[in-house]
Amino acid sequence: MDEAVRAAVGQGVVREGNPVVGLLDVRGIRATADALRAAFPREGTLHTFAVKAAPLVPVLRLLADEGIGCEVASPGELALARTAGVPPDRTVLDSPAKTVAELREALALGIAVNADSREELARLDRLFPASPAASPLGIRVNPQVGSGTIGALSTATETSKFGVALRDEGAREWLVRAFVERPWLTRLHAHVGSQGCPPALLADGVRAVYELAEDINRAAGEQRVRTMDIGGGLPVNFASDAVTPTFAEYARLLTADAPGLFDGRYGLVTEFGRSLLAKNGAVLARVEYTKTAGGRRIAVTHAGAQVATRTVFAPESWPLRVRAYDAQGRPKTGAPVPQTVAGPCCFAGDLVAVDRPLPPLEPGDHVALLDTGAYYFSNHFAYNSLPRPGVYGYASAEGHTRFATVRDPQSLGELVAESGAAHLAGLSALR
């Protein structure tokens, strides 16, 4: 990271006219993909990337080169995956609100679909006879195993909007019957949640749905459920550089909790997102001004709510580490003092870190928000019409760092066009 920041400043990737950028460590992404494959070495496993975590075509292409497909949850995400060259048989469509048009497209392409509700299954009943049978079809089940520490990201609660609630009255019997009556249903899907959900909770959900698969297969008198989509959700450690929990640790936990899942009878699909990208990315921003207020030292930077939306609005759930660099991109030295790192947005709460011990920051210095490779480049918040920052991948070796553009910074012209400039007089013409 230190070498990449120095190079980004020295090569003008971040500069006065481009004061905030996203950085992605390409070698780190490849190493993380290697770790995922090594954790689940059995043939018949399809790893997919949750596109919502980083909806960037070059990222999807890089992951595809590493053998990782795409889990998509909207027509836009599917378009990105297709543009990246991800083949249909390595793509999974999940969404609680799929339209008839989306389902028809997926069936025509042969993309795997997980029905999210009884109503969606009824829609597939009507669509499937007239569509090619290449799409693997399944049902998403809510195992109702409880919440993690972040309720908004916990998808297996008693009343979650996702999936068919397994423990509701009559639900298990309905699910078994649905599979027995439909030979074309061949997979089950479960996703317990993500950040804030400990691996043990994720494993509880997988085990519950695995046990349902065993019940279905017994009732059908054959291996009707042939694939288990276990979702993703492995949390990320935002407190240090340590990668914990690891994919290998999670795989061992699953093997202990549901050993039959790995005995060769079931294909496996995973849908990890944050755990693949977060630690391989950073937001780098210039310090524009420093000041004091009420004895508090404040560094006003160009990274705030527009790039760190979750951190600004829910800092207890999404704390970020901040690393300080000087004007040349070198690590700052000096005795740490409490400082608040603020963003450029015009509201008082636009703070990414409060009273954080850092070497004294000065105008022209830089701050790096660590562990932001996932979601921080996808959740741009356009408050104050701040443009989306550019994102750049890098690879460092032998003291030299090369950069490749992932996404160009949004120009003011593009921002104005996006804000309706082509319809300038539309409202004025109404009487």
Cut 0.85: pTM above it = yes
Residue of higher predicted confidence among 224 and 129: 224
pLDDT tens-digit profile of 208-259? 999 999 999 999 999 999 999 999 999 999 999 999 999 999 999 999 999 9
Q: Which residue has the tokens 């997102």?
A: 273
Neighbouring CB atoms inside 10 A of 328's CB total 12
* pLDDT tens-place string over residues 352-409: 999 999 999 999 999 999 999 999 998 899 999 999 999 999 998 888 999 999 999 9
Mean pLDDT of 76-92: 98
Q: Is the preceding omega at residue 360 within 30 degrees of 0, hence cis?
A: no
Query: What pLDDT was estimated at residue 398?
Result: 81
Q: Is 87-272 assigned to CATH 3.30.360.10?
A: no
Is-contact 273 69, C-beta < 8 A?
A: no
For residue 404, what are the contacts with CB-CB under 8 A and spacing of at least 6?
A: 26, 58, 392, 393, 394
Q: For domain 2-23+279-407, give the fold.
A: Lyase, Ornithine Decarboxylase; Chain A, domain 1 (2.40.37)
Buried b (16+ CB within 10 A) or exposed e, 249-270: ebbebbeebbeebbeeebbbbb
Mean pLDDT to the nearest integer, 9-16: 96
Domain positions in the chain are: 2-23+279-407, 87-272
Confidence of residue 341 (pLDDT cuts 50, 70, 90): very high
- Residue 372's nearest CA partner among 311, 418, 414 is 311
pLDDT score of 129 more than 80: no
